[in-house]
Amino acid sequence: MTFTTSPPTPEYALLSFPTPQILLVTLNRPRSLNCINTKGHQELHAIWEWMDSEPSLRVGILTGAGRAFCAGADLKEWQGKANSGEDLTPRSGFGGLSRRTGLKPVICAVNGLCLGGGSEMAINADLVIASQGAVFGFPEVKRGVVAIAGSLPRLVRTVGRQRAMEMVLTGRQVSAVEAERFGFVNEVVPSDDAAATNGAPGAVVRRAIEVAREIAENSPDAVIVSREGVKIGWEGVGAEDGTRMLIDGWSKRLYGGENIKEGLLAFVEKRKPNWFDSKL
């Protein structure tokens, strides 16, 4: 594969490309349950920024090595810096994802423990696909800290006030099936421990790749703008104001691009579109 710039070379994550349009990021601190330290946050921020800047990439997937997706922050590091008041996360939040705006969609393929910062990343992902054995939770209150990386306002908009209060005030773990019922998770797939142990992608990653392929088959311009429209509404903007913002901010670029012309021409000619890399 050829990119306009070289991919990042992170210490705490692995990068792979299931297809030329899909970036798979695997958190790779399995002995630490993929807890993320300061350097890991900066690495992930750089990875998502790089994905957005690479025209050929259309979808990102985040998963974890071993039995955890991400069990949260590196509390040993956090304890050492707790008195300094230093913010350990980049402007895009925990793992470069919990407050990320970005251009391109990211799917969380949650393969196991998804706690604290792990759940903060998932709540701001565009889709969440979970293994049946995955668990979610915000245990911060049990350690005297707060889920302050962006998840609390977003959680209530996703699962509702009462469920959000239950999750963050009790700190209890929620099963994948329950999280799907809450609307936190899009889809639950059977656990596949055998695949994980022999090095092959587990069922949850395989399913995330299938969904990412579906997204990547669509117009990259239309995906970016459609995602933006949903985000505007989710952030609390009224329907009419959001529509106006979307039209004013994106319509000229969308209608002036090559992909809308290609999509309409392909429809008329009854063929599959040959999309161009997005220039938005």
* 210 belongs to the catalytic site: no
Instruction: Give the span between the Cα atoms of 103 and 48, in whole angstroms.
Output: 9
What is the three-class DSSP state of 165?
helix
* 133 belongs to the catalytic site: no
Radius of gyration (C-alpha) of the chain in whole angstroms: 19
Among 264, 277, 212, 262, CA closest to 4: 277
Catalytic residue among 117, 118, 133, 137: 117
* 120 belongs to the catalytic site: yes
Catalytic residue among 13, 68, 71, 73: 73
Catalytic residue among 95, 109, 133, 140: 140
CA dihedral 22, 48, 192, 206 (to 10 degrees): -10
* 140 belongs to the catalytic site: yes
Beta-bridge mates of residue 201: none
Ranges of H-type helices in 217-280: 220-234, 239-255, 258-269
**Residue 207 near residue 129 (C-beta atoms within 8 A):** yes
For the packed helices 220-234 and 239-255, what is the interaxial angle rounded to 10 degrees?
Answer: 160
Buried-state track 154-183, b at ≥16 Cβ within 10 A, e below 16:
bbbebbeeebbeebbeebebbbbeebbebe
Catalytic residue among 120, 180, 202, 257: 120
Structure tokens at 50: 């790089």
Instruction: Give the span between the Cα atoms of 162 and 209, in whole angstroms.
Output: 33
Among 245, 210, 219, 196, CA closest to 66: 196
DSSP 36: B
Structure tokens at 246: 């979307």
Catalytic residues: 73, 117, 120, 140
